Amino acid sequence: MKAIVVTSQGGPEVLEYKDVEPPQPSEGQLLVDVTYAGINYIDTYFRSGTYPSNPPYIPGTEGCGRVVEDPLGKIAPGTLVAWHAAPGSYAEQVAVDRNRLVAVPEGVAPEVAASMLLQGMTSHYLLHGVRETQPGDTMVVTAGAGGVGLILTQMAAAEEATVYSVVSTEEKEKLAYEAGATKVFRYGEDLAEQIKAENGGGVDVVYDGVGQDTFAMCLNVTRPRGLVCSFGSASGDVEPFKIQELNAHGALFLTRPSLKHYVATDDEFLMRAQAVARAVEEGTVKIRVHPPYSLENARQAHEDLQARKTTGSVVLNV
Ligand code: NDP
């Protein structure tokens, strides 16, 4: 079968389109023909070596596709399923854990299904896991027109939270407003002051996927006893800092969460996955998919994602 292979740690150029052996599903797994593979920022951390990885390997963990065969005979061949945690998803076939997939609801497009779970469940646990969102909560969302950013904004707006979205371009600003942001800002020196002037004294929580470039802003924009949720580092890892900074900024709480700890059990996975699939099916969350790249163009997709050229979710058409 054809697949993308990370040949060594490095930039997008280490992604190669190759012939490889198809996967052998182990007990508890199903073999699936991939229709679309989801691309997530974390794929670039593993590719570059920011997170540990052992090349050569097939990247990607998320996607949507049709079941080839279920050894237990419970899921009919041809059933369209979506998953978020099947290593090797940038490929024509992948082995998926049977306890970590959902059937794609009728009417949900495959490219949407391929990108809804990882970013959707992340948004869900940020709003209903890291803390419980209440109507009237105020929050900052950085990278507000990215894959997570647009879903998080829609879910938060549906909870009647006030969302201050931060983006880098006019096009992204428009998308953030369409997603339900209360007010959209651009990055800059006085960003925290601008948001505090708007909101009158600091927000309850900041959800930051940018990391190094925005961490100081996060501390400055959060109200006393508020929460800084640093869940990603698109601009690089946050530099080491003195814990007393949290005190100096008003006894802040700080967390650095990740999805795997919020879908730790099959039950928790199902609860979040079904909530996301339902919201997408009902249309309360609309997944914006950037124009799909072909599987062999995965390199270009990674380049564009890291160059901030994409909006919404990114997928490979397999
Ligand atoms: P996005 O689609 O949001 O793409 C990244 C965005 O980050 C860019 O579009 C850009 O938006 C912004 N950005 C700001 N500075 C930089 C920079 N220096 N280089 C590149 N991008 C920059 O990606 P995802 O939705 O896949 O992920 C968003 C973040 O969430 C990532 O950090 C990711 O690791 C994290 N994440 C964390 C999870 C967790 O459980 N902890 C789970 C899923 C994602 P703009 O131009 O508007 O600034």
- DSSP-assigned letters across all residues of 137-149: -EEEEESTTBHHH
User: What residue type is 72 in one-letter code?
Assistant: L
**Would you state the pLDDT for residue 186?**
98
CB 223 within 8 A of CB 202: yes
Does ligand 1 come within 6 angstroms of the Cβ of 175?
A: no
User: Quick one: which atom of ligand 1 is closest to the CA of 257?
Assistant: 41
Does ligand 1 come within 6 angstroms of the Cβ of 50?
A: no
Structure tokens at 6: 């990370």
CA of 210 to the centre of ligand 1 (A): 6
Whole-angstrom distance, CA of residue 215 vs CA of residue 53: 26
Does ligand 1 come within 6 angstroms of the Cβ of 259?
A: yes
Structure tokens at 4: 């993308």
User: Quick one: which atom of ligand 1 is closest to the CA of 309?
Assistant: 9
Q: Is the pTM of this model over 0.95?
A: yes
Per-residue pLDDT of the chain (318 residues; tens, 9 = 90+): 999 999 999 999 999 999 999 999 998 999 999 999 999 999 999 999 999 999 999 999 999 999 998 888 899 999 999 999 999 999 999 999 999 999 999 999 999 999 999 999 999 999 999 999 999 999 999 999 999 999 999 999 999 999 999 999 999 999 999 999 999 999 999 999 999 999 999 999 999 999 999 999 999 999 999 999 999 999 999 999 999 999 999 999 999 999 999 999 999 999 999 999 999 999 999 999 999 999 999 999 999 999 999 999 999 999
Burial (CB < 10 A; 0-12, 13-18, 19+), residue 240, is: exposed
Helix (H), strand (E) counts: the chain: 10, 15
Share of the chain residues as helix, strand and coil, in percent rounded to the nearest 5: 35, 30, 35
> What is the secondary structure of 69-133 as a DSSP string?
E-TTS-S-TT-EEEES--S--SBSEEEEEGGGEEEPPTT--HHHHHHHHHHHHHHHHHHBTTSB-
Which of 124, 126, 121 shows the shortest CA–CA distance to 101?
121
pLDDT tens-digit map of 148-184? 999 999 999 999 999 999 999 999 999 999 999 999 9
CB 233 within 8 A of CB 172: no
* End-to-end Cα distance, the chain: 11
**Would you state the pLDDT for residue 303?**
98
Q: Where is 273: in which H helix or E strand?
A: helix 266-282
**Would you state the pLDDT for residue 69?**
87
Protein residue closest via CA to atom 18 of ligand 1: 235
Best of 170, 231, 269 to mutate for ligand 1, by most ligand atoms within 8 A of CB? 231
User: Quick one: which atom of ligand 1 is closest to the CA of 172?
Assistant: 47
CA of 200 to the centre of ligand 1 (A): 27
CA of 10 to the centre of ligand 1 (A): 19
Protein residue closest via CA to atom 32 of ligand 1: 232
CA of 160 to the centre of ligand 1 (A): 24
Whole-angstrom distance, CA of residue 44 vs CA of residue 179: 26
Whole-angstrom distance, CA of residue 41 vs CA of residue 28: 28
CA of 231 to the centre of ligand 1 (A): 9
Protein residue closest via CA to atom 39 of ligand 1: 258
pLDDT tens-digit map of 34-48? 999 999 999 999 999
